[in-house]
Chains A and B, each alone.
Chain A
């Protein structure tokens, strides 16, 4: 549509239609993100700010709690995202077979976790993984462990629990994207490959995976961005504990702002770590996607 076609009346109407959204985005998105940047150069407690230059950034490098939160957050996505996406892709490939029975049933069941609110499923996981609770009982009776695992109180197992919980909640969600992408692949490509005697594993490796690349990229980036903002689960299952072993950046920002004596400047600096990480990821996705389009 060429832009010059619009009449004066249309232009006025167009801007009137857009105005409420622009106004709200200006006030509640652009202004705060700019203010937050300015805040990150301020030091002081409560509402008493003074300019501190790079003091907050220097503090980041010396703050063991921040480094633990950053480490945990990175660990969560480095381990959890590949596990979840591999599972999602495998399930999608299995469900994409038109001769499979009960496909609808399986798909609905696997998708069901996405329906729960993060707080609600956190409550369920917390009770299932209690010290004397269900999961320990099952593992003990199957002789997989000889004594109960302290899922919530042990620094290592608390991390495992958080990873398990997020994987439960989001695998089905990602699977839907893989399934939609698989259904867009032309079946005749597989037919041709089969007639040429290409074995199933090779068809998967050399046809399916390359065709799925855009979705793999999309789900990796969105999942990583999601993990960078992990809050509800750690807040409700472990409260970041024990001994900060499941503290995430978002929870640390919350604690700095609302739990401890508020330090807005430093909390804003920590939040900008997430902003920068998300920006880098989004740009990486943009450029990889663009290169692919250019190459075609």
Chain B
């Protein structure tokens, strides 16, 4: 053994330490992001391909987009479907926000021991599953002659305990002084609600609008039960009905899926922060 081995300089040029954990994080997150976004790509590509190409998993853009769109429009009265869906979603949102914000406001501002108890009772019923309600609701709605009507779709969903709760929590941040000042100015209670509370709480309304609109737009099970004739179907029922039959038109299904997803996707990208806040509002 020579002396050289022992005198080897200990200061090797330091290789920048590749942080393995950090790299794994990036790889993992990229993978997860890819999986999350991929079905959206699949949806868009699928809308440009023929039914046969979709079934064999073709991943490149095709030229059948207009054929698919045309096919979808001949299968269904699409403008009518969109009008139905938008009508139900908008009417449902306006009614729910009106009824529930009024109640949420009142449960907080006009508190009595009895109203507190009533609210506690509502909270207990917050998680009653819809599947337990659908049989009696169906019988009620059909006895009232509301099968195949939008009123039948809308009525059971207007009062949402969750949205009442959401507004009641938000109202805790509504300043007392505003109400007191408005009363001194001689405003009646309904005027205070309409002209003071509503404008001040507009960001709460915005978040609630997103939640309720999406829930209404995407609703499936209850419209499936109530809307049985073809001319008042909503988009979820159309997408769902296209899967059956001997030869489901995959390209047209993709077009329908895009149309069904587009409004919520737009809301998400335009109001991303509020959207996420709205969802988180559920816990706070």
Contact = CB atoms under 8 A, between A and B. Distances in A.
B81 interface: no
A228 B116 CA distance: 30
A253 to B, nearest CB: 5
A208 interface: no
A244 interface: no
Contact of A18 (B55, B106, B190, B257): B106
Contacts of A253: 131, 134-135
Contacts, number: 259
Contacts of B157: 28
B70 interface: no
B103 A119 contact: no
Interface in A227-282: 228-229, 231-232, 235-236, 249-250, 253-254, 257-258, 264, 267-268, 271-272, 274-275, 278-279, 282
Contacts of B221: 231-232, 250, 254
Nearest to B276: A176
B42 interface: yes
Contacts of A110: 29, 32-33, 36
Tell which of A29, A35, A120, A271 has the most Cβ of chain B within 10 Å: A120
Interface string A210-238: 00000100100000010011011001100
Given A17-B110, A112-B37, A117 B236 contact: yes
B117 to A, nearest CB: 11
Contacts of B193: 17
Interface stretch (A56-64, A76-84, A131-139, A190-198): A131-139
Interface stretch (B4-12, B61-69, B122-130, B200-208): B122-130
Interface of A is mostly: helix
Nearest to A17: B106
B261 A123 contact: no
A87 B32 CA distance: 10
A266 to B, nearest CB: 10
Interface residues of A, number: 94
B86 interface: no
A133 B57 contact: yes
Given A112-B36, A120-B239, A128-B57, A20 B159 contact: yes
A91 B283 contact: no
A44 to B, nearest CB: 13
A218 B132 contact: no
A20 B55 contact: no
B268 interface: yes
Size bracket, chain B contacts: 35 or more
A24 interface: yes
B230 interface: no
A1 B225 CA distance: 44
B247 to A, nearest CB: 13
A94 B25 contact: yes
B268 to A, nearest CB: 5
A117 B29 CA distance: 24
A39 B279 contact: no
A157 interface: no
B212 interface: no
B140 A32 contact: yes
Given A21-B102, A123-B253, A134-B59, A116 B261 contact: yes
Interface string B191-225: 00100000000000000000000000110110001
A235 B155 CA distance: 24
A1 B111 contact: yes
Contacts of B33: 105-106, 109-110
Contacts of A53: none
A118 interface: yes
A177 B218 contact: no
Contacts of A257: 134-135, 138
B229 interface: no
Contacts of B155: 24, 28
Given A117-B261, A121-B39, A36 B132 contact: yes
Contacts of A11: 110, 112
B110 A39 contact: no
A3 interface: yes
Contacts of B122: 25
A15 B115 CA distance: 9
B156 A28 contact: yes
B144 to A, nearest CB: 10
Contact of A20 (B103, B111, B112): B103
A236 B240 contact: yes
B118 interface: yes
Given A112-B36, A130-B57, A274-B132, A18 B107 contact: yes
A124 B43 contact: yes
14 contacts: A14-B106, A18-B103, A21-B100, A28-B159, A33-B125, A106-B30, A106-B32, A120-B260, A123-B257, A127-B54, A127-B254, A135-B57, A250-B129, A275-B132
Q: Which 5 A/B pairs are nearest by Cβ-Cβ distance?
A: A14-B110, A134-B57, A17-B106, A117-B218, A21-B103
